[in-house]
Chain A
């Protein structure tokens, strides 16, 4: 092929350009630490990385939901614990009341008065709040669930909706408690016991004891079920942590540059570029026959 001086110079310039472009791309990779700057650098990896980021974001929000759910259910558990203490004390009082040696005034002043206190305590627990929300009023968390307009009437002002939370795709957990179903028997048994003790009604007292015990059982069942569900939430938190970790790992392997490799590739390209400059310089300033003719 016949080579002209213009060809030599144009080729030298275009080789320099190509090499500089490659060097620029490689130094971009090192500077940003990312395998690709735009989707077109590697469309498939970019598509995967976009879905992974979305997954990561979703996982993080599920995790925070699951943690909030766990807190709420711990509040449930705390309430059940206190209710149980109250229940044991109440059963104790009724059993002492069944003791024949007590007089009517003793029943009323000692046992009846304490039972009234227990009732008030239980009512406070039932009206417990978590983060400023009433725990046992169903969806109506801004309404105080239990109230006693008069000593023998218990009103429930919430509803029977069970609060649910989605803690991972497709996994819905009930975190709420049907306050009326779980606590009303207990409150009513306590009220009955107080009345029996105050009025020295030893005839109905045995039946009240049974009523009280079965009410405590109802709460126990609810507590067990709450505990089982809470464990499910906790294991979901662990699972989500693991997922987030794995996704981060995967994302990094798709997106992040292996620095050792990137820097050494860039170094190699720098050397190549220098050689191209060296060669190009010769091509551009090459002598021709005119320089040698006398």
Chain B
């Protein structure tokens, strides 16, 4: 048998449930632009029905509904998208780092401009050719020494900038390591909070948003993967090594490595080396330890080929003043190649024997080196070798650019799918708000009806005939 106070209670529950729904909608609207926010919604369900009793009992009228309750506040998320999004994003970031370094390399080498290494080399060989065509002309000789100085300078400047570029990558790597450690501690803290809330039977939705954001960033920096355990805590690992497990972290350390020009080596607390599968740190390590050293090696090999061949030919020649056995270049790498400071336009050797002013045989032999195969075990000229290196860098860079664009669009698409499920649509929220508002109003109205009924009973009954 119904009681009037039950009716008021049902109406009250409805009013509370719908105002809760409106509050969730408000939360969604408030966070429409919050990065990493997943929309939430109040899941309403009919409250547990009560047994019919009294006169209704056994009449087959069934159980009596007892109104509505908020079952849960649901968080829209698909872990599947999270995983795929993070994986692609990590790869995209790796290529992005490599691309950025190669763009800087290309600008450093400035190859297609007038300051290109090949332009300097051309000028150098041209200088020898001119001396060969007029061996007694001292101004041509002085011009050649200037050109050679500019060439040595071009080597030196590039080598210096490449070292600087490697140091810059090293700094970026250190800052990433520190970031990863910091992220790891924050994930561990959030893990603790989440498992505590879950153990109380509540849904820590906003904490999970926060942790997902941290995990996004961890995968971006180091290609970290994560696995959610039953108690809601997440295990994070990088390249198969655990970074966060529950509320504990295993941190990364870095220390200068004397075997690698004093640049840092990264290892786990337990001493194992870090092997990041992708992410920014992988791209930076690749740039620092593979891409830049390759260009450095190319510069060094060219410088060494020039130093060895020029000195060999030049020291066997004779200057205008009869001096001989002089090196043309000093140094042994791109960084320290210099024109022998003792050379003058008088003792620069163009002749193959002394006292013959117009003997140009040594100058001719050196000018001919432009087209002789001095590089790669006698298979390439210096020009072919360097042209090959520049083209290879250009191809690698355009490949990296393509990969960034491609992976970028894939991760954008995956991010959109995630957003499509979890993002806030204001129209939807408005419609839901109206829905809840109407239900709230109706429940309030019903409560008024019961109020009137009670009024009738309390104030209107038993006064007949008064």
Contact = CB atoms under 8 A, between A and B. Distances in A.
Interface of A: 1-7, 11, 14, 34, 36-44, 46-47, 49-51, 53-54, 57-58, 60-62, 64-65, 68-69, 131-133, 138-142, 159, 161, 163-166, 169, 176, 288-290, 293
Q: Which 3 A-B pairs have the closest CB atoms?
A: A39-B394, A4-B423, A139-B356
6 contacts: A43-B394, A54-B383, A58-B126, A58-B370, A132-B136, A290-B426
Contact of A57 (B126, B395, B431): B126
A126 to B, nearest CB: 17
Contact of B390 (A39, A53, A132, A169): A39
B129 interface: yes
Contact of B122 (A2, A58, A141): A58
Contacts of A132: 136
The B interface is mostly helix, strand or loop, or mixed, namely: helix
B398 interface: yes
B356 to A, nearest CB: 3
A139 B356 CA distance: 5
B358 A141 contact: yes
Contact of A140 (B102, B112, B356): B356
Chain A CB count within 10 A is highest, among B126, B137, B356, for B356
Nearest to A38: B106
B122 A7 contact: no
Nearest to B355: A140
B420 A1 contact: yes
A194 to B, nearest CB: 32
Contacts of A161: 356, 359
Contact of B383 (A3, A37, A51, A138): A51
A34 B370 CA distance: 28
Contact of B106 (A3, A40, A131): A40
A40 B393 contact: yes
Interface of B: 32-33, 102-103, 106-107, 111-112, 116, 118-119, 122-123, 125-126, 129-130, 132-134, 136-137, 351, 355-360, 364, 367-368, 370-371, 383, 387, 390-391, 393-395, 397-398, 401, 412, 416-417, 419-421, 423-427, 430-431, 433-434
Given A39-B111, A165-B132, 4 more contacts: A14-B412, A40-B393, A47-B394, A57-B119
Given A5-B32, A64-B130, A39 B112 contact: yes
A240 to B, nearest CB: 13
Nearest to B352: A139
A133 B367 contact: no
B21 to A, nearest CB: 16
A37 B112 contact: yes
A216 to B, nearest CB: 27
A67 B358 CA distance: 17
B367 A290 contact: no
Contacts of A61: 125-126, 129-130
A35 to B, nearest CB: 10
A41 B126 CA distance: 29
A142 B135 CA distance: 11
Contacts of B427: 288-289
Nearest to B106: A38
A139 B351 contact: yes
A2 B112 contact: no
Contact of A2 (B111, B355, B421): B421
A289 B394 contact: no
A164 B420 CA distance: 79
Nearest to A68: B133
Contact of B112 (A50, A57, A142): A50
